[in-house]
Amino acid sequence: MLLLLLGIIVLHVTVLVLLFVSTIVSQWLVNGEHAADLWQNCTSGPAFHCLASSSNEWLQSVQAMMILSVIFSVL
């Protein structure tokens, strides 16, 4: 029973770390000189330019759910 409890705790800590990493990481999609993530789109041609992510409703809902999941997991 103790081994099962330890396994559940390790699984929860692993999921919490992956949640933080996936929310904070700055490059979800990399394609040559273009990198995109949850918060901004960047191009690294002659100069490095970053623009805010598009204002699609689905992207804003994903951003809100990621922030809420981090807040509720900390609580």
Number of separate domains in the chain: 1
State which residues form the domain around 36: 1-74
pLDDT at 6: 96
For 60-74, the pLDDT digits (tens) are: 888 888 889 888 888
Mean pLDDT of 24-45: 78
Q: Which pair of structure tokens corresponds to residue 41?
A: 């789109």
The token pair at 30 is 């990399």
Query: What order of strands is seen across the sheet that includes strand 40-44?
Result: 29-31, 34-36, 40-44, 48-52
